[in-house]
Amino acid sequence: MMFPHPDIERVLISTDEIQSRIAELGRQITADYRGETVVLVCILKGAFLFMADLCRHIDLPVNTEFMAISSYGHATKSSGVVRILKDLNESIEDRNVLIVEDIVDTGLTLSYLIDLLSARHPKSMKVCSLCSKPQCHKRVVKVDYCGFELPSEFAVGYGLDFKDYYRNLPFIGVLKPSAYEQEE
Ligand code: PRP
């Protein structure tokens, strides 16, 4: 799928930029965890593409776990209400956990997740997020591996959605207000 896309105002991060940054993150994670095994915890749905690409750049023994959490419903702003839709399959006790997120916006989801997963006594826990919107954070959250900082505009693509659409765009772009204004 190529730009221009009729609902996208402009591209924020191109496909090539995404892919080369993910390769860098993978190399950094590989170096930092040398000699260890890691459980990659993908936060669904948004992180599924990032997880798939990132894990192929991590040269370590990894396990893959998936957790589905929802904070937005169908609105464009975080509600602060976090629901667990699907929990992990396996215990993370005494294991190195790397949370894999697509975006940290208000930080409410991540802050909730860190509290939840810390209580399960992992050996270590870090966060890798493809994107972060620092000016939107409402909680102090540490993103150990951050791909890109985004402006506060409504971004979609590469896992980021509006009403579950646009996740399949291979780039990240700003959604035209006309694409969501009539919907809210
Ligand atoms: C998005 C995103 C993060 C969260 C970040 O998930 O994937 O998990 O919101 O927002 P926050 O920092 O303001 O809490 P969403 O709940 O939209 O579900 P999705 O991944 O299925 O799109």
pLDDT digits (tens, 9 = 90+) for 99-123: 999 999 999 899 999 999 999 999 9
Identify whether 105 is a catalytic site residue.
yes
Q: Point out the ligand 1 atom lying closest to the alpha carbon of residue 167.
A: 22
In the reported structure, the alpha carbon of residue 37 is separated from the centroid of ligand 1 by a whole-number distance in angstroms of: 27
| Alpha-carbon separation of residue 58 from 24, 31, 35, 163, 170 (angstroms) | 10, 9, 12, 31, 21
Ligand 1 neighbourhood includes 159 CB (under 6 angstroms): no
What Rg do the C-alpha atoms of the chain give, in angstroms? 16
Alpha-carbon span 73 to 30, nearest angstrom: 35
* Residue 73 binned pLDDT confidence (cut-offs 50, 70, 90): low
Kindly report, residue by residue over 118-135, the tens digit of the pLDDT: 999 999 999 999 999 998
* Residue 71 binned pLDDT confidence (cut-offs 50, 70, 90): low
| Model-wide pTM > 0.85 | yes
Task: State residue 3's pLDDT score.
Answer: 60
Ligand 1 neighbourhood includes 146 CB (under 6 angstroms): no
DSSP assignment letter at 135: G
At 66 the three-state DSSP class reads strand
Q: Point out the ligand 1 atom lying closest to the alpha carbon of residue 105.
A: 12
Contact 37, 13 (CB under 8 A): no
| Alpha-carbon separation of residue 110 from 39, 103, 115, 149, 176 (angstroms) | 17, 9, 9, 16, 27
* Residue 140 binned pLDDT confidence (cut-offs 50, 70, 90): confident
Alpha-carbon span 163 to 142, nearest angstrom: 28
Ligand 1 neighbourhood includes 131 CB (under 6 angstroms): no
pLDDT at 82 over 90: no
| Alpha-carbon separation of residue 111 from 4, 22, 86, 158 (angstroms) | 36, 23, 18, 23
Check 53, 102, 105, 161 and give the catalytic one: 105
Q: Which position has the token pair 């790397």?
A: 98
In the reported structure, the alpha carbon of residue 35 is separated from the centroid of ligand 1 by a whole-number distance in angstroms of: 32
- Class of domain 15-155 as given by CATH: alpha beta
* Residue 72 binned pLDDT confidence (cut-offs 50, 70, 90): low
Strand ranges of the sheet holding 145-149, from the earlier edge strand across to the other edge: 83-86, 62-70, 38-44, 96-104, 124-132, 145-149
